[in-house]
Amino acid sequence: MTAELTHAFALTDADRALLPTDDEVAEYGRRGWYLSRKLFTDAEMDTLVEATERFYAGHTDRRLPLRPPNLAYWTPEKGDVQRHNDYIHYESDEVAAILRKPLLGAVAARLAQAEEIRVWQSTLIYKPPRPEEQSNQVPWHMDRHYWQTCTSERMLTAFIPFHHCDERMGTITMVDGSNTWTEIPGDDSTRHFAHRDRSELEDLLHANASHNGAVVDKIPMIIPKGHVSFHHCRTYHGSGANLADAPRRAISLHLQDGDNRFRPYLKPDGTPVFYNHDVLVRRNDEGLPDYTDQNYCPTLWRE
């Protein structure tokens, strides 16, 4: 078993040349984002397109045993809006096989300066090529706000488009250095952006910037096919309309470092926060949700 694991998490010399350098890791710490080298082949990305088309047409290898309360799950009757499908790594084996490429976990481990990286969540995203479609706009947010039941401050996201992705397609856009900001207290930030007003979130972003004496410098990630954009869980990000004539297809692979565990967390009004995993994963020895459950949170990388 141990031998198998060591083998599974090994990198080739060619892989090692694709890891971020020490300078790049330091820059990620200052700016909150990192654009990788080419981590996936064109064939791997084309397989993702084909596998997710099969998924959209109804194929799954496994279904969630129950529907968690805040699940994002597009189905055809929702129409030509932006599609979000959580737990794609659980429901599609073909997708999971590609996401589990050791090199991806190894890059994340270097950025997070962690020995182990596990999947936290994966969301399959599809922005239809409709310039006016409001649901294509992703308001400014930081992912940490949605993961308040996590102890870790080092979690991060790998945004993996299946094709070249730029501003015209409504690529993910980072607010440079916002990972280092401190927050204005008082806002119930755990409310998901899908349920909040976009202009309210734009105002909040600017208020938080001035609170930190910073300016809002928005950096669209121009991501060549096979490359991956990473962002820290405290980096503000969002994205705009898809102005291209093809859909924008991507997976947001949210990642946790090995030390991450469940913690109880209360909203400002005193009600407890739940993450969808909390009704799915096994319980640990203390009876709390176990964020190391390999069924939902498989290990991607271990030193």
Ligand X SMILES: O=C(O)CCC(=O)C(=O)O
Q: Which residues bind ligand X (CB under 6 A)?
A: 125, 138, 143, 157, 159, 172, 237, 239, 252
104 binds, among ligand X, Fe ion, none (CB under 5 to 8 A by kind): none
Residue 86 found at the interface with Fe ion (CB under 5 A): no
Q: Which does 239 bind (CB under 5 to 8 A by kind): Fe ion, ligand X, none?
A: ligand X
Q: Which is nearer to ligand X, 61 or 200 (CB)?
A: 200
CB of 222 to Fe ion, least distance (A): 18
Residue 59: CB minimum distance to Fe ion, A:
27
Residue 290 binds Fe ion (CB under 5 A) = no
Nearer to ligand X, 257 or 290 (CB): 257
Q: Which is nearer to ligand X, 9 or 175 (CB)?
A: 175
Query: Of 105 and 238, which CB lies nearer to Fe ion in the complex structure?
Result: 238
| Contact of residue 156 among Fe ion, ligand X, none (CB under 5-8 Å per partner type) | none
| List of E strands, 14-166 | 33-35, 83-86, 116-127, 138-141, 156-161
Residue 141 CB contacts under 8 Å (≥ 6 apart), including other chains? 193, 201, 236, 237, 238
Pick 155 or 281: Cβ nearer ligand X = 155
Q: Is 148 helix (H, G, I), strand (E, B) or coil?
A: coil
Here the tokens at position 51 are: 């596998």
251 binds, options ligand X, Fe ion, none, Cβ within 5 to 8 A by partner type: none
**How many beta carbons lie within 10 A of that of residue 38, not counting itself?**
12
**Residue 25 in 3-state DSSP?**
helix
Planar angle of CA 134, 140, 143, nearest 5 degrees: 115
Q: Which residues contact 227 (CB under 8 A, 6 or more apart)?
A: 35, 36, 37, 38, 39
* Of 237 and 302, CB closest to ligand X: 237
Exactly one of 86, 91, 116, 143 binds Fe ion (CB under 5 A); that residue is 143
CB of 239 to ligand X, least distance (A): 3
d(CA 85, CA 294): 20
In 3-state terms, what secondary structure has residue 232? strand
Residues at the contact surface with Fe ion, assessed by CB under 5 A: 143
